[in-house]
Amino acid sequence: MSEKIAALIAAVEEDMTLEEVRKALGDGADPLSLVEALREGMAVVGDKYEAREYFLPDLILSAEIFKESIALIEPHLQSGNTTTKGAVVIGTVHGDIHDIGKNIVATMLKCNGYDVHDLGVDVPPQVFVEKASSTQAGLVAMSGLLTLAFDAMKDTVDALAEAGLRDKAKVIIGGGPVNEKVLEYCGADAFGKDPAEAVRLANRYLA
């Protein structure tokens, strides 16, 4: 069932993907495995775009299918999950509107018991600061796929420090091009390559 869902979203089949997700949920499938299937499918879409097999409309529609599918899955993820392991603020940094990966990371953190405050895309440093302060978040997670996102990540880390929050909140970063060098440049605590790593880091910092 998961393989079929991955293949359908990879083929940008909106109605069929949603139908299959509804069917899987109705059959009692593990909601986490459905999120993972959607993630795999989205990775294929990204690869096909790079290979010029897919074009902008495919990307936009696949992102929409992903969001619609997650909306169907989310109520099943949260049921029975009443205690929180801590507050996490997440967003795509200023100047960048890519949110497919960020949404997957946010969903996986929610599934793992974190109280996730998703600020959306193109988030200015000050907005991260205000949310981290008002929620007393122990973790700020930033996503960015553009090269220019590196500066926005650095600015956000600096803004958190200026607001006196740097010793209260760990900062993690991720998104396609993020690596050790970017981590060093922007002064965050750690970077992750996938949602599983985001969850591992949250468990490490907020346990």
Q: Which residues have C-beta within 8 Å of that of residue 188, sequence separation ≥ 6?
A: 142, 153, 157, 171, 172, 173
Rounded to a whole number of angstroms, the minimum distance from the CB of residue 23 to ligand B12 is 24
Is residue 12 within 8 A of residue 45, CB to CB? The reply is: yes
Rounded to a whole number of angstroms, the minimum distance from the CB of residue 185 to ligand B12 is 14
Q: Which residue's CB is nearer to ligand B12, number 80 or number 155?
A: 155
Q: How do 190-192 and 170-174 pair as beta strands?
A: parallel
Which one-letter amino acid corresponds to residue 147?
A: T
Report the 10 Å Cβ neighbour count for 94.
22
Kindly state whether residue 96 participates in binding ligand B12, applying the rule CB under 6 A: yes
46, 127, 189, 200: residue in contact with ligand B12 (rule CB under 6 A) = 46
Cα separation of 188 and 82, whole Å? 30
Rounded to a whole number of angstroms, the minimum distance from the CB of residue 21 to ligand B12 is 17
Q: Which residue's CB is nearer to ligand B12, number 82 or number 182?
A: 182
175-202 as b/e, with b when 16 or more CB fall inside 10 Å? beebeeebbeebbbbbbbeebebbbebb
9, 109, 145, 169: residue in contact with ligand B12 (rule CB under 6 A) = 145
Q: Which residue's CB is nearer to ligand B12, number 23 or number 204?
A: 204
Kindly state whether residue 1 participates in binding ligand B12, applying the rule CB under 6 A: no
How many residues at the interface with ligand B12, by CB under 6 A?
A: 37
Residue 137, token pair as written in the block = 């978040």
Cα separation of 66 and 61, whole Å? 9
Rounded to a whole number of angstroms, the minimum distance from the CB of residue 130 to ligand B12 is 19
Residues that bind ligand B12 (CB under 6 A): 39, 42-43, 46, 49-50, 56, 59-60, 63, 95-102, 104-105, 141, 143, 145-147, 172-177, 192-195, 197-198
